[in-house]
Amino acid sequence: LAKTTQPISMDSYEGQEVNITCSHNNIATNDYITWYQQFPSQGPRFIIQGYKTKVTNEVASLFIPADRKSSTLSLPRVSLSDTAVYYCLVGDGDTDKLIFGTGTRLQVFP
């Protein structure tokens, strides 16, 4: 089972743009890439989902290169309340199972 990897942690300051990358070099051909936000002792909350190129919604953008072996979640202007763990979720190309990434702990400072 190919591992879906993310940086363990990132630090940022309020108002800055944060980009979190997920590496998934064995992604299933037909599956979307989904990103979630998780606060301590809560279930994951949906942020954004995409298949290729770029997707933007009111809270984030998602960049996916043509080979789809990675994806980047972009949070335009983070605030203190964006301090959380961020996970990507992708389908594994061999098993077709959905696999969560290792998670990135984002700490936003004032």
- Residues of this chain that bind another protein (CB under 8 A): 31-32, 34, 36, 41-46, 49, 87, 89, 91, 97-103, 105
- Quote the distance between the C-alpha of residue 72 and its chain's center: 6
Find out whether 20 and 33 touch, Cβ atoms under 8 Å: no
Q: Which is nearer to another protein, 45 or 69 (CB)?
A: 45
Kind plus residue range of the DSSP H or E element containing 72: strand 70-75
Angle in degrees, CA 49, 10, 110, rounded to 5:
105
CB of 15 to another protein, least distance (A): 27
Q: Which is nearer to another protein, 1 or 66 (CB)?
A: 1
Q: Which is nearer to another protein, 54 or 97 (CB)?
A: 97
3-state SS assignment for residue 22? strand
Residues in the chain: 110
CB of 110 to another protein, least distance (A): 24
Q: Six-digit token pair at 20?
A: 């979190």
CB of 78 to another protein, least distance (A): 21
CB of 32 to another protein, least distance (A): 5
